Amino acid sequence: MNALGHLIKTAVPVAAFLAAAASMPAYGQQSQQSCFPSRFGPEDQAGNLNHITPEKTRRASRLIKQGKSYALGIETNKNTPAYAPRTFEIKVVQPGQEKGPIGPSKTTYNDDIINGWVGIGSQLD
């Protein structure tokens, strides 16, 4: 590769990175300015959950006629229906334990690695 080709191959990604980095503060400031303030005050974290009051809960409980309950949670796994290219995968691993238990107490443990899209199954958002 000649010197010009090498310069172009190096300069284009660097220029793209610098342009993206330069726009980040402006983007962050703009997104903060366009947020709508909460009607419940600037420190509010609950949002519309503020509308669920003890009185409204009592009134809602009077609407129960048959006492049926419905499970609203669903299991999410590799067989959960999803539009392509969405997938969901859970791996159970034992990091650092390839040679057996660790240390004098013979410690073992499992870790879960979840790799997936939150827009599948129960729509985890």
Nearest to 46 by CA among 34, 54, 38: 38
22 has a pLDDT exceeding 80: no
**Is the CB of residue 81 less than 8 Å from the CB of residue 121?**
yes
How do residues 43-82 score in pLDDT, each as one tens digit?
A: 998 989 999 999 999 999 999 999 888 877 778 888 888 8
Q: Which of 38-42, 59-63, 117-121 has the highest mean pLDDT?
A: 59-63
3-state secondary structure of 74: coil
Helical ranges in 34-94 per DSSP H: 54-61
Q: Is the pTM of this model over 0.75?
A: no
105 has a pLDDT exceeding 90: yes
Phi first, then psi: what are they for 116, rounded to 5°?
-175, 180
How many angstroms from the chain centroid is the CA of residue 17? 25
